[in-house]
Amino acid sequence: MPTLVLSPHESRKSRPEATLKLLEKPPLWRAVLAVMMAVLALVGFWPSPVDAPAQGGIDSALAFLHAHGIPGWINYSFVEKSANVALFIPFGAATSLAYPEKRWWQNAALGLAVSGCMELGQLLFLHNRFSSWVDVVTNSGGSLIGVLLAVAAVHSYQQKQAQRFNQR
């Protein structure tokens, strides 16, 4: 979530109002979403797996962690799936903020559609990449988490705003 920098003449009391205004700017979030989609397209359609240069370092880090008591089920596959979820959480949040008039499941479905298109593109056009339905599931899960977090954040800010208004 972006951090707001308030000018010296603004009071701390106005921070929630400023944050709520930022959350309620769909055109801004649509621009953020467009940038995110461009980044996802770069990641998804890069000719070789984007984690290939880091694989050795990740393997070494996991070996070190396993030697120091981290369970064996935290392996490369787990890290890769977790990264897929984490990659789509901001996407889901931006989608929810960009299209607040849509239902949560409609916004989450955009993550499913984008992920499905990425994996289909990899299957059809990128022979050095490996498309996987598991990636679609993990990406979609990340998108869903992001959508629900954004919905909860907006709802929380609106509740606090209503409480402040009622206290006046």
CA distance 143 to 10: 35
Does residue 158 surpass a pLDDT of 90?
no
CA distance 50 to 2: 26
Q: Please choose, from the candidates 85, 119, 105, the residue with its C-alpha nearest in 3D space to the C-alpha of residue 148.
A: 105
CA distance 47 to 69: 36
Does residue 2 surpass a pLDDT of 80?
no
Across the chain, mean pLDDT equals 87
Low-confidence winner among 32-36, 49-53, 92-96, 103-107 (lowest mean pLDDT): 49-53
- pTM reported for the whole predicted model: 0.81
Query: What DSSP line would sit under 100-130, residue for residue?
Result: TTS-HHHHHHHHHHHHHHHHHHHHHH-TTS-
CA distance 120 to 49: 15
pLDDT digits (tens, 9 = 90+) for 70-104: 999 999 899 999 999 999 999 999 999 999 999 99
Does residue 68 surpass a pLDDT of 80?
yes
pLDDT digits (tens, 9 = 90+) for 111-155: 999 999 999 999 999 988 889 999 999 999 999 999 999 999 988
For residue 14, what are the contacts with CB-CB under 8 A and spacing of at least 6?
Answer: 6
